[in-house]
Amino acid sequence: MADITMTGPRGPKPKKVFSRANIFLYGTLIMVSMYYLLPLYVMVVTSLKGMPEIRMGNVFGPPMEITFEPWVKAWSQACTGINCDGLSRGFGNSVRILIPSLLLSVTIASINGYALSNWKFKGSEVFFTILIIGAFIPYQTMLYPIVILLREIGLMGSIGGLVLVHTIFGMPILTLLFRNYFASIPEELFKAARVDGAGFWQIYFQIMLPMALPIFVVAIILQVTGIWNDFLFGVIYTKPSTYPMTVQLNNIVNSVQGIKEYNVNMAATLLTGLVPLIIYFASGKLFVRGIAAGAVKG
């Protein structure tokens, strides 16, 4: 399972284009595609309608009159509790959470992976095994000890605290990713550098880092989507003024006060989903590689 690349299709070549099997095959695929595309389509059309049109029914109908007002409202006016400055605040928080978490977790994990594959020391494999097992432990068992830890160092409720949490919980999978990658680099290269007198950091920065750029991209894709989509840690380790976008979105849409504005809700939902969607469509095969690497542990 180490090498997961989507090479070209295999299997026997179909003979006829309109054979019964082919019609069945494409029919099934198109039907299933509709199930997958439906929510995205519904979100888009709903977010472009006015409320009177939504009340008339038919969520599937295209908007008769396109309006961007719900988007503007979702971005800058939607209310959570007493704050009515829209999702823009959550977006800002998410960005301020994402960037340091990303830098910190990828840096630490790449150094870990490098140390684990080239500079093994007594016990290093034990720590690594604990780390990987840790990836399977339900987060719920570690939530409260981390609350205590963050309180002790005075980061509870702050963006810094959440950055630390993301770094901790991103570590198992990213370390695994980098360790496997560095282990696949021929050992002779490392030995030659050692003979030339290069040390730990010199080899890391001058040899390993430039060679590991593809895996860095995979790790970044994995972390951007993971951190952006996080809800659990955001809801527990931050306070309303530092809520990430997902938490704020949930509070806007599921708030019990006021009239439900479905078009604004859907615009807000799409806005939150936009960042991972852009990453997904822009990265293509790298995303698949990232999740496959993230999924197949070991």
Partner 1 sequence: MTVASDPPLRTAKRPSRLFKNLMAKIASIPMILTALVVFVGGTTWTVVYSFTGSRMLPKTNWVGLDQYERLWNSDRWIISIKNLGIYGGCSMILTLVLGFCLAACLDRKIRFESAFRTIFLYPFALSFVVTGLAWQWILNPEFGLQSVVRGWGWETFTFNPINDPDTVIFGLLIAGLWQGTGLIMCIMLAGLRGIDDDIWNAAKVDGIGTVKTYVVVIIPMMRPVFITALVLIASGIIKLYDLVVAQTGGGPGLASEVPAKYVIEFMFRAQNLGQGFAASTMMLLSVVIILIPWAYLEFGGRKNG
| Under rule CB under 8 A, residue 194 binds partner 1 | yes
From the list 64-72, 181-189, 205-213, 284-292, the region that binds partner 1 by CB under 8 A is 284-292
Amino acid at 259: I
| Under rule CB under 8 A, residue 282 binds partner 1 | no
User: Shortest gap between Cβ of 191 and partner 1 (angstroms)?
Assistant: 11
Amino acid at 235: V
User: Shortest gap between Cβ of 69 and partner 1 (angstroms)?
Assistant: 18
Cβ–Cβ under 8 Å, residues 208 and 185? yes
Closer residue to partner 1 in complex, CB, 45/159: 45
From the list 71-79, 81-89, 95-103, 280-288, the region that binds partner 1 by CB under 8 A is 280-288
User: Which listed residue (79, 103, 142, 286) binds partner 1 by CB under 8 A?
Assistant: 142
Binding to partner 1 (CB under 8 A): which residues in 66-125?
108, 111-112, 114-116, 119-122, 124
Cβ–Cβ under 8 Å, residues 189 and 171? no
Q: Tell me how far apart the alpha carbons of residues 49 and 263 are, in angstroms, rounded to a whole number.
A: 6
Closer residue to partner 1 in complex, CB, 42/84: 42
Token digits of residue 254: 């599921």
Amino acid at 101: S
Build a one-symbol-per-residue string for 237-256: x at contacts with partner 1 by CB under 8 A, - elsewhere: ---------x--xx--xx--
| Under rule CB under 8 A, residue 232 binds partner 1 | yes
Count of residues that interact with partner 1, criterion CB under 8 A: 101
Q: Where are the alpha helices (DSSP H) in the chain?
A: 20-47, 51-55, 69-76, 88-118, 124-134, 140-152, 159-183, 187-195, 200-203, 209-211, 213-229, 232-237, 245-253, 262-283, 285-295
Half-sphere exposure of 227 (CA within 13 A, CB side): 33
User: Which listed residue (20, 52, 140, 188) binds partner 1 by CB under 8 A?
Assistant: 140
Binding to partner 1 (CB under 8 A): which residues in 17-56?
25-26, 28-29, 32-33, 35-40, 42-43, 46, 54-55
User: Which listed residue (101, 175, 223, 238) binds partner 1 by CB under 8 A?
Assistant: 175
* Residues in contact with 72: Cβ distance below 8 Å, sequence separation at least 6, in sequence order: none
Which residue's structure tokens are 């908007």? 63
Binding to partner 1 (CB under 8 A): which residues in 208-227?
225
Q: Tell me how far apart the alpha carbons of residues 110 and 115 are, in angstroms, rounded to a whole number.
A: 9
